[in-house]
Amino acid sequence: MAKKKDENGPVDAHGDHRFPPPAEFKKAARVSDESIYERAAADPQAFWAGFAEELRWETPWKEVHTFDPPDAKWFIGGKLNACVNCVDRHIEGPHRNKAALIWEGEPGEKKTWTYFDLYREVNRFGNVLRKLGIKKGDRVAIYLPMMLESVAAMLACARVGAVHSVVFGGFSSESLRDRILDADAHLLITADGGFRRGKVLALKEAADAAVEGCACIENVLVIQRGIPGHECSMKEGRDHWYHDLADQVDAWCEPEVMDSEDPLFILYTSGTTGKPKGIVHTTGGYLTGTYATTRVVFDLKDDDVYWCTADIGWVTGHSYIVYGPLAAAATQIIYEGAPDAPDRGRFWRICERYGVTVFYTAPTAIRAFMKWGDDWPAGADLSRLRLLGSVGEPINPEAWLWYHEHIGSGRCPIVDTWWQTETGQILITPLPGVTVTKPGSAAKAFPGVDVEILSDEGEKIDGETGLLAIRGSWPAMTRGIWGDRQRFIETYWSKWEGIYFPGDGAKRDEDGFFWVIGRVDDVINVAGHRLGTAEVESALVEHASVAESAVVGIPHEIKGTAVAAFVTVREGFETGDELAGELKAHVAEKIGAIARPESIIFAADLPKTRSGKIMRRLLRDIAEGKALGDTTTLADPSVVESLKSQYDDEA
């Protein structure tokens, strides 16, 4: 039973808390009893098809699903257009003038687009893409801040059958260039800039630098954010203002009829090697999976005001800002900037101003809010909130309980949703009207999804930590890595026969609840963002001073995990704060600010096994200041001792 504060004093995070759905929530919930699990398990194909039937298909599918690991197909033979489903479908009925997107710029501008506005915009935008020669199957790179037009840009690609590849606006020009080249994109869509904590993001400049080395880019389309006093240069013949072209095109853009298995987008994510992988998602299954989970997990109803605080540059923005919620005709908030601009109450004033009812954010943000103090949320009217969500990394019980009490006033269920860029849709989550939640656990597999815990050898593990494993397939599952079939098979399908390996460690408790521990590979999760340690290492060794480096994740109060980099320097370079600062800036410039190391640890040598593998576990222990484990497999044991004492001195 939920412990009420007044009965038991303040809740402590280590207690055995259970939070049943509040009666009022349960009464009105779309799904309020367990039978959905049985129904889905009895006939998963019929379960998913039920959601697909709520979408618009130009041609019905012939077969729901085939799975020949690793190849899944969903709604085979079906034809549809994702943009039509997210926009056109809604303007024919009562939603025509419903607010689709409510935007606030960081400096305070406000703009709302109804579904009819969005419809007009995606039509114009689609025609602009066609005018620039974009056709079905072409790749379009998108490098934008959080604007209404960013959503329109993605949907316009879908409308004309182009495959979008959104690159987070915080990534460096080099990261953008790598992604443009890998996808062989013909067009880049960017903006003159955006605001972040009062500063102007010079996106166009970064875009120019990126495109410098890209022969594949024919045109750059620039959306005007409008920044007083900020000019950006336009290259004759290559760069075009979006508003100029939009004035010249027709109001109607015929949508391309897409096969259910035609690619909808590519989204790059970090892996265990230095090179990010382009995760491919297709049309029918992806749309069905995100639509179904939006409905069921966020319990979205017609009068909800939904706010997912993610950026469209991440999969959360794709699935739970653009495709799922718009397919569900939701009203949602898009906010451009930082949560602490101009002060730490910004998010809560937005919730109050628009009467946000469903709020979805990341544990790293929740931990920052906690640190900033209870007064900020207490100062706003959050009484309309009815459901809270969390995503991106394990949520620690302290943060869960704070979120529940200070944002949700003890009244809102929390859905801790586990999924990945590759899974496309939420796979493990409570159902807010059904599940008795436990802080820190993502609860159970979504209906129709088969998750278990396996050992390396594929044996079932109960009650102890093992590896998360997903059997069968689900509609929004990735169909592969762009241009790299082998890597797709090796990364996800080689651990066990025909079972998907997501790369996470987890355990299942006596109630069948999943507790996700985190990555078991050389991927770290920094403030909810995935980063390959190898990516940071290769950025570091590109600096003239660095001979060798090893990067590990260390616990961090707000970010969950932070980057710690062990570095050996070349002859003639002086180690110290100055070089450390330079290296941090170098990594941020090479990859993006999210990759900036928290600490640089200079070492005379890096501890290696006899076979030459860097001993990361040991480095993690050193970086965390822990006692050393067994070091006998080291090629040179003295290395570790000197490392350890040096680190202790610095700490």
Instruction: Catalog residues that contact ligand WT7 under the rule CB under 6 A.
Output: 269, 314-316, 391-394, 416-421, 442, 502-504, 516, 518-519, 525, 530
DSSP one-letter string for 122-170 = HHHHHHHHHHTT--TT-EEEEE--S-HHHHHHHHHHHHHT-EEEE--TT
> For residue 553, which of 527, 589, 582 has the smallest C-alpha distance?
527
Contacts of 447 (CB under 8 A, 6+ apart): 36, 37, 39, 40, 41, 47, 296, 431
- Taking the complex as a whole, the smallest distance from the CB of residue 58 to ligand WT7 amounts, in Å, to 30
Beta bridge partners of 111: 103
Indicate the residue whose CB is closest to ligand WT7: 421
- Taking the complex as a whole, the smallest distance from the CB of residue 423 to ligand WT7 amounts, in Å, to 8
- Taking the complex as a whole, the smallest distance from the CB of residue 549 to ligand WT7 amounts, in Å, to 23
- Taking the complex as a whole, the smallest distance from the CB of residue 429 to ligand WT7 amounts, in Å, to 8
Using CB atoms within 10 A of its CB, is residue 371 exposed (0-12), middle (13-18) or buried (19+)?
Answer: exposed
Residue 116 vs 496, nearer CB to ligand WT7: 496
- Taking the complex as a whole, the smallest distance from the CB of residue 172 to ligand WT7 amounts, in Å, to 18
Residue 119 vs 291, nearer CB to ligand WT7: 291
Residue 123 vs 390, nearer CB to ligand WT7: 390
Residue 187 vs 391, nearer CB to ligand WT7: 391
Look-up: residue for tokens 């949320």? Answer: 377
Residue 219 vs 525, nearer CB to ligand WT7: 525
Using CB atoms within 10 A of its CB, is residue 351 exposed (0-12), middle (13-18) or buried (19+)?
Answer: buried
Q: Please check whether residue 413 is in contact with residue 279, taking contact to mean a CB–CB distance below 8 angstroms.
A: no
Q: Please check whether residue 172 is in contact with residue 542, taking contact to mean a CB–CB distance below 8 angstroms.
A: no
Residue 139 vs 318, nearer CB to ligand WT7: 318
- Taking the complex as a whole, the smallest distance from the CB of residue 352 to ligand WT7 amounts, in Å, to 27
Cα dihedral sign for 65, 421, 419, 552? positive
Angle between helices 115-131 and 148-160 (to 10 degrees): 60
Residue 219 vs 417, nearer CB to ligand WT7: 417
- Taking the complex as a whole, the smallest distance from the CB of residue 269 to ligand WT7 amounts, in Å, to 5
- Taking the complex as a whole, the smallest distance from the CB of residue 247 to ligand WT7 amounts, in Å, to 37
- Taking the complex as a whole, the smallest distance from the CB of residue 69 to ligand WT7 amounts, in Å, to 20
Query: Is residue 447 left, alpha or beta, with left meaning phi > 0 and alpha meaning psi from -120 to 50?
Result: beta
Residue 242 vs 402, nearer CB to ligand WT7: 402
Residue 427 vs 583, nearer CB to ligand WT7: 427
> Residue 394, preceding bond cis, omega within 30 degrees?
no
Residue 274 vs 518, nearer CB to ligand WT7: 518
Q: Please check whether residue 477 is in contact with residue 501, taking contact to mean a CB–CB distance below 8 angstroms.
A: no
d(CA 15, CA 226): 51
CA 258 to chain centre: 25
d(CA 345, CA 340): 7
Contacts of 548 (CB under 8 A, 6+ apart): 541, 567, 568, 606
Beta bridge partners of 525: 530
- Taking the complex as a whole, the smallest distance from the CB of residue 562 to ligand WT7 amounts, in Å, to 16
